[in-house]
Amino acid sequence: MSKSIAFFDFDGTLTSKDSLTEFYKYLYKRNFFYAYYLRNLALVVLVQFKIVSYFTLKKRRLKYLVKKFPTQFLKDESRDFFRIFIENELKIKAKTRILELKKRGFKIVIVSASLDLLLSNFDKELSAEIITNELEEVNGNFTGNFIRNKDCNFEEKVHRIKSKYDIEDYEEVHAYGDSKGDFAMFELAHKSFLNYFKE
């Protein structure tokens, strides 16, 4: 059997909403607007004007998250949240496509700018391999830093894919995404699909 592999972006491609934003809502509840936007207002504005990167804002939000909530609490809550999130937000067409490709012998890989804290649960859901941002943990506690100080998006998706897989080993390569953050990943594929599961 020929070797085949399919790379999927996660948020917006397989799901209807952004997993990380929804996780913040799930944790902060009524304080979400303050914790996510107001306390970071200056950075939000700078990102809008492209003066600082979105990754800078992302790291600031994460630092506050791990300062506010204990590590084990975040791990426990991530499992409960993700179960609900997948039930409500995973696109039926996307799940069907993944299962079809698996039957055809494709290796399924999720390549996402979300967090391993969340997506490690998807590994259990559909037996997919995961490439995403990994949280640094020291002495059992999240530090608020990423293991790699680069967001798993744009060209970084390609770097991480190539560090794990030899694309030349595969006779058929698919890539699925929904934004310009996935275009570099498309260049690796024989077939690329933009907004393939759009509802």
**CB atoms inside a 10 Å sphere around CB 165:** 18
Asked if residue 116 is part of any domain, the answer here is: yes
Residues 169-180 pLDDT 10s: 999 999 999 999
Quote the domain boundaries for residue 49.
4-194
Tell me how many domains the chain contains: 1
Asked if residue 199 is part of any domain, the answer here is: no
Confidence of residue 142 (pLDDT cuts 50, 70, 90): very high
Confidence of residue 122 (pLDDT cuts 50, 70, 90): confident
Please report the sign of the dihedral spanned by the C-alpha atoms of residue 185, residue 187, residue 192, residue 197: positive
CATH of the domain at 77: 3.40.50.1000
Asked if residue 13 is part of any domain, the answer here is: yes
Asked if residue 61 is part of any domain, the answer here is: yes
Beta strands in 49-151 (DSSP E): 106-115, 129-133, 135-138, 141-146
Full-model pTM: 0.95
Asked if residue 73 is part of any domain, the answer here is: yes
∠ Cα 155 157 163 (to 5°): 105
Kindly state the average pLDDT of the residues 131-142: 97
Kindly state the average pLDDT of the residues 133-153: 96
Residue type, 131: I
Asked if residue 38 is part of any domain, the answer here is: yes
Tokens of 60: 């600031």
Give the burial string for 50-70 (b: 16+ CB within 10 Å, else e). Answer: eebeebebbbbbbebbbeeee
Q: State in Å, rounded, how far the first CA of the chain is from the last one.
A: 33
Give the pLDDT of residue 2: 65
- Cβ atoms of 131 and 112 within 8 Å: the answer is yes
Residues 78-95 pLDDT 10s: 999 999 999 999 999 999
